[in-house]
């Protein structure tokens, strides 16, 4: 069964550095998402992406964040200047068609644990 994959599994960085988290969504999916989960807390929506542009973003997704689909398979999240409070698990998710009386299933990747020192 196809799965969402993410790399790296763990990223350690210094405060102020840039990081890029990578995701390979399920191949026939059209909608892509990033979520984050601070340790012991709930999963929080960051951004959704469809048709090569951002569809929606939360208040967490400020100017230091950006997303890109650089080719036909990868979906990336860039954090420009990391802060201590960016330390969290970042999950990528993908889904097929949206709409038509409610949404389709979102499948999550294994996550990237980001530690900002």
Q: Tally Cβ neighbours within 10 Å of residue 55.
A: 13
From 21, 29, 35, 77, residue interacting with other proteins (rule: CB under 8 A): 35
Q: Which is nearer to other proteins, 31 or 75 (CB)?
A: 31
Buried/exposed 29-51: b ≥16 CB within 10 Å, e otherwise = bebbbbbbeeeeeeeeebbbbee
From 25, 36, 48, 77, residue interacting with other proteins (rule: CB under 8 A): 48
Indicate whether 90 belongs to the interface with other proteins (CB under 8 A): no
| Alpha helix (H) residue ranges in 1-117 | none
Q: Tally Cβ neighbours within 10 Å of residue 84.
A: 9
Q: Please answer whether residues 33 and 92 qualify as being in contact, where contact means their C-beta atoms are separated by less than 8 angstroms.
A: yes
From 7, 50, 65, 66, residue interacting with other proteins (rule: CB under 8 A): 50
From 45, 65, 66, 69, residue interacting with other proteins (rule: CB under 8 A): 45
Q: Which residues bind other proteins (CB under 8 A)?
A: 31, 33, 35, 41-45, 48, 50, 55-56, 58, 91, 95, 98, 101-111
């Amino acid at each position: 069964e196809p799965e969402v994959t993410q790399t790296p599994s763990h990223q350690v960085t210094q405060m102020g550095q840039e990081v890029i988290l990578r995701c390979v969504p399920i191949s026939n999916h059209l909608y892509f998402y990033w979520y984050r989960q601070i340790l012991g807390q709930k999963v929080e929506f960051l951004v959704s992406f469809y048709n090569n542009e951002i569809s929606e973003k939360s208040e967490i997704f400020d100017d230091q964040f950006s997303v890109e689909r650089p080719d036909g398979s990868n979906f990336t999240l860039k954090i420009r200047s990391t802060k201590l409070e960016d330390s969290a698990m970042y999950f990528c998710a993908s889904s097929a068609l949206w709409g038509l009386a409610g949404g389709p299933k979102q499948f999550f990747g294994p996550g990237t644990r980001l530690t900002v020192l």
